Amino acid sequence: MRAVALRNIKLFFRDRSALFFSFLSVLIILGLYMIFLGDMLREGAGSVPGVDALMNSWVMAGILAVTSVTSTLGAYGIMVEDRHRGMLKDFTASPLRRRDLAGGYVASAVAIGLMMSLITLLFAELFIVLNGGEWLSWTGWLRVIGLMALSVLSSSSMVFLITSFIGSVNAFSSVSTIIGTLIGFLTGIYIPIGSLPSWVQVAVKLFPVSHAGALLRDVMMEEPLKQSFAGAPPETVSQFKLEMGIAFEFGSYTTSAAASLAVLALTTIICYGLSILRLSRKG
Amino acid sequence: MKRIIDVKGLAKSFGDVEAVKGIAFYVNQGSLFAFLGPNGAGKSTTIDILTTLLKPDRGEVEVNGYRLGKEDKGIRSSIGVVFQGSLLDPLLTVEENLLIRGSFYGFSRQALRAALDRACEIVQAGEFLRRPYGRLSGGQRRRADIARALIHTPSILFLDEPTTGLDPQTRRHVWDTIRQLQREQGMTLFLTTHYMEEAAQADYITVMDHGLIKAQGTPLQLKADYASDMLKIMPAHPGELSGYLSGKAIPFTVDGGIYCIPLRRTTDALAILDDCRANIGHLEIVSGTMDDVFMNLTGREVRNP
Q: Would you write out chain A's pLDDT as a tens digit for each of its 283 residues? A: 889 999 999 999 999 888 888 888 888 888 989 898 888 888 877 778 888 899 999 999 999 999 999 999 999 999 999 988 888 899 999 999 888 999 999 999 999 999 999 999 999 999 999 998 999 999 999 999 999 999 999 999 999 999 988 888 899 999 998 998 889 889 988 889 998 999 999 999 999 999 999 999 999 999 999 999 988 899 989 999 999 999 999 988 999 999 999 999 999 999 999 999 888 876 5
A–B interface: beta-carbon pairs under 8 A: 57
Packed helices A169-186 and A198-206: angle between N→C axes, nearest 10 degrees: 120
Mean local confidence (pLDDT), B78-98 = 94
Q: Is A95 on the interface with B (CB under 8 A)?
A: yes
**B262, pLDDT greater than 70:** yes
Tell me whether residue B176 is exposed, middle or buried, using C-beta atoms within 10 angstroms of its C-beta: 0 to 12, 13 to 18, 19 or more.
exposed
Q: Is B66 on the interface with A (CB under 8 A)?
A: no
Neighbouring-strand partners of residue B189: B32, B157
Q: Is B133 on the interface with A (CB under 8 A)?
A: no
| Cβ within 8 Å of residue A273, ≥6 positions away | none
Q: How confident is the model at residue A267, as a pLDDT? A: 97
Q: How confident is the model at residue A72, as a pLDDT? A: 94
For residue B304, what pLDDT band results from cuts at 50, 70 and 90? very low
Q: Which of A229-233, B18-22, B271-275 has the highest mean pLDDT?
A: B18-22
Inspect the interface and report whether the beta carbons of B53 and A92 lie closer than 8 Å. yes
Which residues of chain B neighbour A94 with C-beta distances below 8 Å?
76, 101, 104-105
Query: Which of B64, B91, B93 should one mutate to test binding to chain A, selecting the residue with the greatest count of A CBs within 10 A?
Result: B91
Mean local confidence (pLDDT), B52-70 = 95
pTM: 0.86
Residues 141-200 of A with CB under 8 A from B: none
Q: Is A14 on the interface with B (CB under 8 A)?
A: yes
Rounded Cα–Cα distance for residues B64 and B78 (Å):
7
Rounded Cα–Cα distance for residues A53 and A49 (Å):
9
pLDDT over 90, % of chain B = 56
Q: How confident is the model at residue B81, as a pLDDT? A: 96
Q: How confident is the model at residue A282, as a pLDDT? A: 65
Q: How confident is the model at residue B25, as a pLDDT? A: 95
Tell me whether residue B271 is exposed, middle or buried, using C-beta atoms within 10 angstroms of its C-beta: 0 to 12, 13 to 18, 19 or more.
exposed
Q: Is B73 on the interface with A (CB under 8 A)?
A: yes
Q: How confident is the model at residue B67, as a pLDDT? A: 96
Q: How confident is the model at residue B302, as a pLDDT? A: 59
Tell me how long chain A is: 283
- Name the residue of chain B whose CA is nearest to A4's CA: B100
Query: Which of A90, A99, A105 should one mutate to test binding to chain B, selecting the residue with the greatest count of B CBs within 10 A?
Result: A90
Instruction: Supply the DSSP symbol for B132.
Output: B
Inspect the interface and report whether the beta carbons of A93 and B53 lie closer than 8 Å. yes
User: DSSP string covering A156-210, please?
Assistant: HHHHHHHHTT--SHHHHHHHHHHHHHHHHHHTT-SS-GGGS-HHHHHHHHHSHHH
For residue B60, what pLDDT band results from cuts at 50, 70 and 90? very high
Which residues of chain B neighbour A7 with C-beta distances below 8 Å?
89, 92, 96, 100
Instruction: Supply the DSSP symbol for B298.
Output: H
* Cα torsion angle, B72, A272, A186, A8, sign: negative
Do residues B151 and B143 make contact, with C-beta atoms less than 8 angstroms apart? no
Q: For A30-55, what is each residue's pLDDT tens digit?
A: 898 989 888 888 887 777 888 889 99
Which residues of chain A neighbour B89 with C-beta distances below 8 Å?
7, 11, 87
Which residues of chain A neighbour B66 with C-beta distances below 8 Å?
none
- Name the residue of chain A whose CA is nearest to B86's CA: A87
Q: How confident is the model at residue B305, as a pLDDT? A: 38
Inspect the interface and report whether the beta carbons of A95 and B92 lie closer than 8 Å. no
